[in-house]
A and B are shown apart, each in its own frame.
Chain A
Amino acid sequence: MVSRLSSANPSSALGYELDAICATVLGGTSLNGGKGKISGAFLGAIAIQMLRNGMNIIGLRLVTQKMIIGAVLIVILVIDVMRREGKK
Chain B
Amino acid sequence: MNLKKSLTFVAKYSYAFILLVIFIFMTCASSQFLTFDNLMNVARQSSLLLIMSIGMTMAMLLGRGVDMSLGAIVSISSCFAANFFLRSCGPIEIIFGVFVGILVGAICGAINGIMVAYLNLPAMLATYGFREILRGIAYTYMNGNVITSINPIIIFMGNGRVGGIIPTPMIYALCITLLAVYFLKRTKTGRELYLVGANPQAAKFSGINIPKNVIMGFVLSGVMAAIAGILYVGRLGAAEAEIGNDFHFQAVSAAAIGGISFGGGSGNPWGVVAGALILTLLNNAQNLLQISSSWQGFIYGAVIIAAVLIDYFVGKQQTN
In Å, the complex CA distance between A19 and B125 comes to: 12
Q: How many residues of A contact B (CB 8 A)?
A: 18
Known contacts A63-B136, A64-B136: does B122 contact A31 (CB below 8 Å)?
Answer: yes
Total A-B residue pairs with C-beta atoms closer than 8 Å? 54
In Å, the complex CA distance between A64 and B129 comes to: 13
Contact between A78 and B140 (Cβ–Cβ < 8 Å)? no
In the complex, chain B residues whose CB is within 8 Å of the CB of A66: 132, 135-136
Q: Is A26 an interface residue (CB 8 A)?
A: no
In Å, the complex CA distance between A44 and B139 comes to: 28
Contact between B126 and A77 (Cβ–Cβ < 8 Å)? yes
In the complex formed, the residue of B with least CB distance to A66 is B132
Shortest beta-carbon distance from B106 to chain A in Å: 20
Contact between A67 and B133 (Cβ–Cβ < 8 Å)? yes
Indicate which residue in A21, A25, A31, A70 contacts B133 across the interface (CB closer than 8 Å): A70
Known contacts A25-B125, A63-B139, A77-B126: does B131 contact A70 (CB below 8 Å)?
Answer: yes
Binding site secondary structure of chain A: helix
In Å, the complex CA distance between A72 and B121 comes to: 14
Interface of chain B residues 107 through 130 with chain A (CB within 8 A): 115, 119-122, 125-126, 128-130
In the complex, chain A residues whose CB is within 8 Å of the CB of B89: none
In the complex formed, the residue of B with least CB distance to A31 is B122
In the complex, chain B residues whose CB is within 8 Å of the CB of A69: 132
In the complex, chain B residues whose CB is within 8 Å of the CB of A85: 120
In the complex, chain B residues whose CB is within 8 Å of the CB of A38: none
Q: Is B309 an interface residue (CB 8 A)?
A: no
In Å, the complex CA distance between A60 and B129 comes to: 18
In the complex formed, the residue of A with least CB distance to B245 is A14
Contact between B129 and A78 (Cβ–Cβ < 8 Å)? no
Q: Is B39 an interface residue (CB 8 A)?
A: no
Contact between A81 and B128 (Cβ–Cβ < 8 Å)? no
Q: Is A8 an interface residue (CB 8 A)?
A: no
Q: Is B137 an interface residue (CB 8 A)?
A: yes
Contact between B129 and A81 (Cβ–Cβ < 8 Å)? no
Q: Is A18 an interface residue (CB 8 A)?
A: yes
Indicate which residue in B121, B132, B137 contacts A81 across the interface (CB closer than 8 Å): B121
Shortest beta-carbon distance from B93 to chain A in Å: 28
Known contacts A64-B140, A67-B137: does B132 contact A78 (CB below 8 Å)?
Answer: no
- Complex A-B: 5 CB contacts under 8 Å: A25-B125, A70-B131, A73-B125, A74-B126, A78-B121
Closest 8 CB pairs of A and B: A70-B132, A67-B136, A73-B129, A74-B129, A70-B129, A63-B139, A70-B133, A66-B132
